[in-house]
Structure 1
Amino acid sequence: MLTYDDLKSLPETVAGPSYDVRKVTSGIVHFGVGNFFRAHLGYYVDRALALPDQHHWGITGVGLRSGGNSDRKAEEFRAQEGLYSLTEIAANGKAEIRVMGCLKDYLQAPDEPEKVLALLADKATKIISMTITEGGYNIDETTGEFRTSLPAVQEDLANPQKPGTVFGFVVEGLRRRREAGHGGLTIMSCDNLRHNGDVSRKAFVGYARAVDADLADWIDQNVTFPNAMVDRITPSVSDEDKAKLNERSGLKDLQPLLSEDFIQWVIEDKFAAGRPAFEKVGVEFTDQVSAYEHAKIRMLNSSHLILSAAGMLLNLKLVDEVLGEPRVHKFVDSVLEKDVIPTLKAPPGVDLHKYKSTLLTRFSNAAMADQVARIASDATSKAQVFWTETVRAVLEGGRDRTRIVYCMALLLELLRGKNEKGEKIALQEPFLSEDQLKIAASDDFLESINLPAFDSWRDLLTSEIKKEIAHNRELIRKDGVLSSLPV
């Protein structure tokens, strides 16, 4: 295992903390200690700790589950005193390895609830951050409000001083904080979610209002929720991967971590009780976070979805393999260059053409082994979020629609549930009904256009465009993806 004593004699190829890890104290409490958090927020905090007078910004991690893998994770973090190694690999194969010392402690909320609540109420805690997944905020998609009907939330509401959910823990911690007169702090979402600060505010204030309206008002007035855009590819790490990472580093790390060399964090500078010197370690502060979110969704996420649909039909497993097909590469490049960039307003100081090149380089990074099936899951919902503005801009603007129409055909062929060889695809479409899945699997090209994947631009689908979609599906069936791509 990796311990503080090992920092004295790290291998030559491994960088260690340039600060005294023993002097670091906790100022951040983070819920959801996964790989992305450790490679993203942990990365930035680690660098900030190396600056003067920043030692009080260490992180205490909190897990919301116990048993099985959660217990193992807790044991390993504690055994290593929070240390872990990060291997960053560029698309050209160059690797940099460093040991991170930002994680000061790890608590399991179900087993140590009072410790967690005391920490949240502690005056030294200035930021509560989280990576609880995009769907973890419990917001009703129809009303836009926090759902109190969830059984786990109902349990917390029945006994708010003994919480089990992240909402219950944070709000009870804030109640105790208010009683102690310690003032507000910042709740910071690190999830890949548009307007994540606004969503967080709705979730936590919504839960608080169901507990105590006065407490909800206090939170609304004293706690800040900055919006942020986060970006870094951080794949899962199997036991086999761990062995390979440790072989490369020469360490005996129980929790080694892998990521690409690219990282980005754009956030509003709205911190109620101070923050690390993030501006000195590469974090971008702006009041126009939505512009960066916009660019990421229309360029990164939209092209990811194209690659995943093509990859599933071609029976390729990894994103870099799909992009390695020259015709696919050329097609994705053309969609971004001809359909997206001309209809997208760039964020301040961002060159969209350079951003496009960076994305394609990142997608080609074989070391990430990014799974096509992961990206293709819930394609129906993703298309409405990632493709809508580009589709509408092209169709409403009377632009060349060849590539966009082909993308629609590609998506419907994915939803059909069979690859080019006629083999069944394991679809993950949680929001399609059984009847809709039957329509998707049928050979009625025109009826399948009525599936909800196209709801956000259905009003623009003329009979001529529908015929073009059907024709492209016929070409994909007859000639295959690579031959039918309009490049």
Structure 2
Amino acid sequence: MTARLADLLTDPRRPRPGILHLGPGAFFRAHLAVYTDGALRAKGGAWGIEVAGLRDAATARQFTAQDGCFTLLVRDGTDTRAQVLGPVLRGVAPDDIPARMAAPEIRIVTLTVTEKAYGLDPESGGLDPTHPAIAADLTNRAPPRSAVGLIAAGLAARRDAGVPPFTPLSCDNLAGNGHLLRRLVLDFAAHRDPALAEWIATEVPFPSTMVDRITPASTPATRADARRLTGMDDPLAVETEPFLQWVIEDRFAQGRPDWDRAGALFVQDVAPYEAMKLRMLNGTHSLLAWLGLAAGHEFVRDAIADPVIAGAARSHLQAAARTLASVPGVDPGAYAEALLERFRNRAIAHRLDQIAMDGTQKLPPRILSPAAEMLAKGGDTDSFARVTAGWVWHAAQHEPLRDPRADEIRARLAGVPRDPASLTAALMALPGLFPPALRDNADWNRQVAGHVAVLTGGAA
């Protein structure tokens, strides 16, 4: 099978490795791998990707078994197009990650590991030393297992060997992901070796990025369509929408692929693009997920077809746009209409429960920060309160709740009356989640409880 897949590539020559990627899941295959494949086809260069999972080696082994090739299905609502991509050279076992990070040919380490894998303390904005993986790495002299611990150890090995540093590049949906990753790595290094922290602060860039491509979890239908369109069985097949976007802060220690040849945008400041995406796309996604699940829907395409939820989504896009500074080259109104059209794509089966998970990680940048800003300006916070109410109701009644703070949420809600005001008050008091300007504002609390009442049919 692997030889036949490799034969499908228009350029079967394999580049030398230059990138180590942590988190070889669906989004990596539909985004970073696509851009890298395009850059290699356009310009070449020693930028082949090696992929590794932090704990699970199965996907990495499958990449090795398939010569790094996989099928990408692009669904536009009318047609499905299959591409076979090959920027990945091989998989790397978790135990081999430290050695590959220390290898001089690896010049960029990219990440798509989800928000909860960073070990972030939501109260301080820095490293959480009680996070299980972080705590284990800080107390154990064995090779680290957390992404932050691995990066710190890899940079330490390069410093000690006199090898220039790699550039850590987060591709996760986190506000200021480069700045955040830098702080977490510095915090970790300071616990283990203050001199290392000083060296990293001086020598290592942490570019921020904004990534965007709706990528549902693969299903048996994904694999069946890949087989139908390519004639081969591909366990790594992934499906996505036609749209893709990548905005990258252009700061790298040892060069980078010509991702712009594949459509990426290199800029000096990612923040305006990131805020637009987090608040408009991701914030509205959260609205669709929590309100859609409450209404009994399963997929984004079904939620946006619900007239009540569609109206709420349009209102939220307008509310989020009012919190943004000007974004170079972007018309917010046109961007909002494009998002609605993407949500309506009937060919993309994007599960609402996939978007709804990890709400305590997603609420602050998507909903709470713009709500606090709007409240400070005396503006209308109603749409942000509606989305927050959707999360309150989801956290109170959904089982199993997939959230890094699920146990804490359950403990907070234990014995709490199931009326909207009590549920809202209990979750508003969750430490470190809500900014004091919202948590302590009676009008905001009433606004959220009022929307919870709409969802529950109860009285606020």
TM range, smaller chain = 0.7 to 0.9
Number of the residue aligned with 2:147: 166
C-alpha spacing 1:450/1:26, structure 2 compared with 1 (3 Å):
same
Structure of greater Rg: 1
C-alpha spacing 1:449/1:150, structure 2 compared with 1 (3 Å):
closer
- What is the CA distance between 1:230 and its match in structure 2? 1.2
For the pair 1:362 / 2:342, whether they are aligned, the reply is: yes
Check conservation: 2:174, 2:365, Cα contact below 8 A. no
Number of the residue aligned with 1:297: 278
Q: Which runs of 5+ in 1 are unaligned?
A: 11-15, 418-423, 480-487
C-alpha spacing 1:436/1:169, structure 2 compared with 1 (3 Å):
closer
- What is the CA distance between 1:263 and its match in structure 2? 1.1
C-alpha spacing 1:437/1:340, structure 2 compared with 1 (3 Å):
farther
Number of the residue aligned with 1:446: 421
Check conservation: 1:267, 1:286, Cα contact below 8 A. yes
- What is the CA distance between 1:173 and its match in structure 2? 3.1
Number of the residue aligned with 2:160: 179
SS of the residue corresponding to residue 64 of structure 1 reads coil
Check conservation: 2:5, 2:66, Cα contact below 8 A. no
Residue from 101, 125, 138 that aligns with 2:86: 101
Q: Mean Cα displacement is larger for which, 286-295 or 392-401?
A: 392-401
Residue from 411, 424, 438 that aligns with 1:434: 411
SS of the residue corresponding to residue 116 of structure 2 reads coil
| CA shift digits 1:149-188 (9 cap, x unpaired) | 5565455456646444434443333333223322222111
For the pair 1:263 / 2:244, whether they are aligned, the reply is: yes
Check conservation: 1:175, 1:215, Cα contact below 8 A. yes
Number of the residue aligned with 1:285: 266
Q: For 2:88 and 2:177, how far apart are their aligned partners in 1?
A: 23
- What is the CA distance between 1:318 and its match in structure 2? 1.0
SS of the residue corresponding to residue 367 of structure 1 reads coil
For the pair 1:374 / 2:354, whether they are aligned, the reply is: yes
2:347 maps to a residue whose letter is A
Number of the residue aligned with 1:33: 24
Q: For 1:315 and 1:294, how far apart are their aligned partners in 2?
A: 30
SS of the residue corresponding to residue 56 of structure 1 reads coil
Q: Which runs of 5+ in 2 are unaligned?
A: none
Number of the residue aligned with 1:21: 13
Number of the residue aligned with 2:68: 82
C-alpha spacing 1:361/1:148, structure 2 compared with 1 (3 Å):
same
1:234 maps to a residue whose letter is T
Q: Mean Cα displacement is larger for which, 170-179 or 328-337?
A: 170-179
Q: For 2:457 and 2:135, how far apart are their aligned partners in 1?
A: 54
Q: For 2:396 and 2:166, how far apart are their aligned partners in 1?
A: 49
C-alpha spacing 1:458/1:107, structure 2 compared with 1 (3 Å):
closer
C-alpha spacing 1:278/1:157, structure 2 compared with 1 (3 Å):
same
For the pair 1:51 / 2:42, whether they are aligned, the reply is: yes
Number of the residue aligned with 1:388: 368
Check conservation: 1:312, 1:425, Cα contact below 8 A. no
Please show how residues 177-326 of structure 1 align to structure 2 within 5 Å: 177-326=158-307
TM-score under structure 1 length normalisation: 0.82
Q: For 2:241 and 2:18, how far apart are their aligned partners in 1?
A: 27
- What is the CA distance between 1:88 and its match in structure 2? 1.3
Number of the residue aligned with 2:53: 63
Residue from 107, 111, 114 that aligns with 1:130: 111
- What is the CA distance between 1:458 and its match in structure 2? 3.8
Number of the residue aligned with 1:348: 328
Check conservation: 1:226, 1:269, Cα contact below 8 A. yes
| CA shift digits 1:334-390 (9 cap, x unpaired) | 3323x2323422321111111111211221223321112232335466444422344
Provide the aligned length of Structure 1 versus Structure 2. Answer: 449
- What is the CA distance between 1:296 and its match in structure 2? 1.6
Q: For 1:240 and 1:381, how far apart are their aligned partners in 2?
A: 30
Identical columns (%) = 31
Check conservation: 1:160, 1:211, Cα contact below 8 A. no
CA-atom RMSD, angstroms?
A: 3.0
C-alpha spacing 1:260/1:212, structure 2 compared with 1 (3 Å):
same
Q: For 1:302 and 1:442, how far apart are their aligned partners in 2?
A: 26
Check conservation: 1:228, 1:268, Cα contact below 8 A. yes
Q: For 1:259 and 1:472, how far apart are their aligned partners in 2?
A: 33
- What is the CA distance between 1:469 and its match in structure 2? 5.9
Q: For 2:392 and 2:152, how far apart are their aligned partners in 1?
A: 44
For the pair 1:2 / 2:2, whether they are aligned, the reply is: yes
Q: Mean Cα displacement is larger for which, 36-45 or 369-378?
A: 369-378
- What is the CA distance between 1:199 and its match in structure 2? 1.8
Check conservation: 2:19, 2:48, Cα contact below 8 A. yes
| CA shift digits 1:228-273 (9 cap, x unpaired) | 1111122221345312322233333231121111111111111011
SS of the residue corresponding to residue 237 of structure 1 reads coil
Number of the residue aligned with 1:420: none
2:426 maps to a residue whose letter is L
Check conservation: 1:137, 1:199, Cα contact below 8 A. no
Check conservation: 1:223, 1:272, Cα contact below 8 A. yes
Number of the residue aligned with 2:125: 144
Check conservation: 2:112, 2:170, Cα contact below 8 A. yes
SS of the residue corresponding to residue 144 of structure 1 reads coil
Check conservation: 2:428, 2:439, Cα contact below 8 A. no
1:201 maps to a residue whose letter is R
| CA shift digits 1:25-45 (9 cap, x unpaired) | 101111221111121111111
| CA shift digits 1:120-161 (9 cap, x unpaired) | 223222111122221112132233333445565455456646
Check conservation: 1:85, 1:257, Cα contact below 8 A. yes
C-alpha spacing 1:391/1:171, structure 2 compared with 1 (3 Å):
closer
1:108 maps to a residue whose letter is A
Check conservation: 1:185, 1:222, Cα contact below 8 A. no
TM-score under structure 2 length normalisation: 0.86
Check conservation: 2:206, 2:251, Cα contact below 8 A. yes
Q: For 1:164 and 1:404, how far apart are their aligned partners in 2?
A: 37
